[in-house]
A and B are shown apart, each in its own frame.
Chain A
Amino acid sequence: MGLEDLYQEIILDHYKKPRHPGRLEGDRVEVRHYNPVCGDELTLGLRLDGDRVAGVAVDGKGCAISLASASVMSDLVLGRRVPEALEAADAFRQLMHGEAEPDEELLEDGIAFAGVARYPVRVKCALLGWMAFRDAAARGLAGQDGGETVYGEDENAARAAKAERLPGERY
């Protein structure tokens, strides 16, 4: 298993030339997904026309795997109906967890990430864009606003910050 298996040409191509970069203006759901452990972060804008993806844009900062995967995702979901796109999202998740063989018809360029499954610490990078899409699609279909999701250690920190000291309590 060499470097070229992990970083396939298709992945490097999407990393260097992301397909739908930037922010969507106007009527859209915008979500920010951030992994403070590794620093991967992306803002995903999604415009739905009924249950069809009419517009998508990804503004990301992070490693090659996370940025390339988000680019592949954006290309794949654009123009599809949300249920189909979610089917692809599920297939991609299964691919990352080693639960399924690569299905090119369903995942297109996404099959290039098959090798990532063998690098457990990188799986979360590959999934970040897809998680953001799931989140944005669910919000969009439910007519909700966007939001922010922080993964990993900050979830614990946020929980600790919420735990308030009792008034006058002293140890």
Chain B
Amino acid sequence: MTTTTTPPRPDPASGQQASSAPGQQALHAPGQQAPHAPGGLAGGDLATRVRADFPLLAREVHGKPLVYLDSASSSQKPAQVLAAMQEYYERHNANVHRGVYTVAEEATHLYEAARGKVARFVGASERATVFTKNVTEAINLVAYGWGLRNLREGDEILVTEMEHHANLVPWQLVAKLTGARIRAIPVTDDFLLDLDALDGLLTGRTRIVAVSAMSNVLGTVNPVAAIAERAHAVGALVVADAAQAVPHLGVTFDDLGADFLGFTGHKMLGPMGIGVLAAREDLLDSMEPFLGGGEMIRDVDIESSTFNDIPWRFEAGTPPVGDAVGLAAAVDYLAGLGMDQVRAHEVEVTGYALKRLAEVDGLRVLGPADLEHRGGAVSFTLGEIHPHDISQVLDEDGIAVRAGHHCAKPLMKRFGVQATTRASFYVYSTTGEVDALVAALDKAKRFFG
């Protein structure tokens, strides 16, 4: 898998939600709006250029500047995204698709334009790009929409030991209903998927391979394309959890070679409440609805209904239009930076973090050392100090990290830990923040030592 591929750029007028929408003000290009950004840094450090776009990063916590190192959980939002959403609610808010009046038509246009933009960002078919609530719902859509109707007793669902619960639990539920069996690709001591085990695990019985494109805990970037090729050879479908990969690696649908791809807005500078399922068009077309209700029907009688075309067949009820507009603005922002630049910046900050963390006595990183095989989510343990205690000490210095099992309990068990502390980076993360983290970890060691 090429991790630095730049996704197709949206159209050049992408700074606007929709050029035909009235009252639209062009939003600033990322990193150029910043009234208080230091000048003369073009082409320099990405974080320095973009930080002023993120209002929340200017706040203080306990009297110290916020050091936000939890972007793998949720990213912060640039002013451009917030402005696009405000603009939507102030000027274009209405329910979509059937309103025969100007504002409703604008809302519909914005919603569908957002879909197109998001689809192009990951190189997916617009018809097969479904807006969901989050990645979890996207994967449940596949598990129930495809799995429940196609899996039979004796079939196998192949997951990995490093899956987020989102790409594991839906399969357990559907396995229970169908009699299918769950098997797992193990994780090696080097924090990589054990591809040698794949030959024994991938058989004619395998119908689904559910794999994370990048681990939210280990940071490991998995070779989804290679796995997909082998999965397809035995007739299995591949469901890739790209919650981390799409925001950080710049992967496209074709790069991954998966049949279904789930990702979410709030981890890629967009709002919470909107996720995406990008699917192979023919597969999605063949699938029955997951959720029933308004929007997803063609005709309804008391006893039965016929259903809408894709993608709307899978979007029951009023969709999150304002969130879609925000996500489109986030996609514009990322495309404006260039995903290759985003990835390069994270490689730099992650490399620096791994070097600095290695200097902390008693600290053990759970994840690959090789920057080519990992993204910017860095999990670690520090002696016997519980991650919640570490996180509490760090918070005192305004540093936000995640402590816990990261919704990956089988992985925690694999490495014999209850929990880890995780620092994760994004476009606005700086090496100075890594220094603050390391200093606070030393403080935690003194405190609990």
Contact = CB atoms under 8 A, between A and B. Distances in A.
Nearest to A164: B176
Interface string A53-68: 0000000011111000
Interface in B156-184: 176-178
A64 B148 CA distance: 45
A82 B377 CA distance: 49
B148 A165 contact: no
Given A3-B392, A3-B396, A12-B448, A64 B176 contact: no
B109 interface: no
Contact of A165 (B176, B392, B396): B176
B329 to A, nearest CB: 33
Given A12-B448, A15-B448, A38-B388, A61 B418 contact: yes
A39 B419 contact: yes
Interface in B175-231: 176-178
Given A2-B396, A3-B396, A39 B177 contact: no
Interface string A1-30: 011001100001001100000000000000
Given A7-B447, A12-B448, A38-B419, A64 B396 contact: no
B37 interface: no
A170 B178 contact: yes
Interface in A99-150: 119, 121-122, 125
B265 to A, nearest CB: 25
Contacts of A15: 448
Interface in A63-80: 63-65
Nearest to B444: A3
A125 B388 contact: yes
Nearest to A1: B62
Contacts of A169: 177
Nearest to B448: A64
A165 B386 contact: no
- Which of A12, A39, A121, A122 has the most C-beta atoms of chain B within 10 angstroms of its own C-beta? A39
Contacts of A170: 177-178
A36 B418 CA distance: 8
B393 A63 contact: no
A39 B418 contact: yes
B389 A63 contact: yes
Contacts of B148: 171
A157 B186 CA distance: 23
Contacts of A119: 392
B386 A62 contact: yes
A6 B393 CA distance: 10
A3 B405 contact: no
A73 B389 CA distance: 20
B8 interface: no
A12 B165 CA distance: 35
Nearest to A15: B448
B448 A39 contact: no
Nearest to B176: A165
B10 interface: no
B439 to A, nearest CB: 15
Contacts of A121: 388
Contacts of A6: 392
Contacts of B447: 3, 7, 12
Contact of A64 (B389, B405, B409): B389
Interface in B427-449: 447-448
Contacts of A63: 386, 388-389
A159 to B, nearest CB: 13
A94 B33 CA distance: 52
Interface string B388-410: 11001100100000001100010
Nearest to A165: B176
B78 to A, nearest CB: 29
Contacts of B385: 64
B348 to A, nearest CB: 32
A16 B447 CA distance: 11
- Which of B148, B178, B389, B393 has the most C-beta atoms of chain A within 10 angstroms of its own C-beta? B389
Contacts of A171: 148-149, 177-178
A67 B261 CA distance: 43
A170 B447 CA distance: 57
B388 A165 contact: no
Nearest to B443: A3
A42 to B, nearest CB: 12
A64 B178 CA distance: 44
Contacts of B418: 38-39, 41, 61-62
A171 B404 CA distance: 36
A3 B405 CA distance: 24
Given A3-B447, A15-B448, A171-B148, A39 B389 contact: no
- Which of A38, A61, A169 has the most C-beta atoms of chain B within 10 angstroms of its own C-beta? A38
Contacts of B149: 171
Contacts of B448: 12, 15-16, 64
The 3 A-B residue pairs whose C-beta atoms are closest, nearest first, are: A39-B418, A63-B386, A3-B396
5 contacts: A7-B389, A61-B418, A65-B389, A169-B177, A170-B177
Interface of A: 2-3, 6-7, 12, 15-16, 36-41, 61-65, 119, 121-122, 125, 165, 169-171
Given A7-B392, A64-B386, 16 more contacts: A3-B396, A3-B447, A15-B448, A39-B404, A39-B405, A39-B419, A41-B418, A62-B386, A62-B418, A121-B388, A122-B388, A122-B392, A165-B177, A169-B177, A170-B177, A171-B178
